[in-house]
Amino acid sequence: MNDDNNFTKIACLQIATLRKWRVPDARAAL
């Protein structure tokens, strides 16, 4: 359970960073 939570947090941070950079391929990366 802890691993899943950490993965989710990391994914959210990565998405937030991509949004800050305004990367158009952010969705494609997922």
DSSP string, 1-30: -HHHHHHHHHHHHHHHHHHHHT-TTHHHH-
Q: How far apart are CA 28 and CA 2, in angstroms?
A: 27
Structure tokens at 8: 């989710």
Count of Cβ atoms closer than 10 Å to residue 18 Cβ: 16
Q: What is the pLDDT of residue 29?
A: 57
**pLDDT single digits (tens) 1-30:** 567 888 999 998 888 887 777 666 656 655
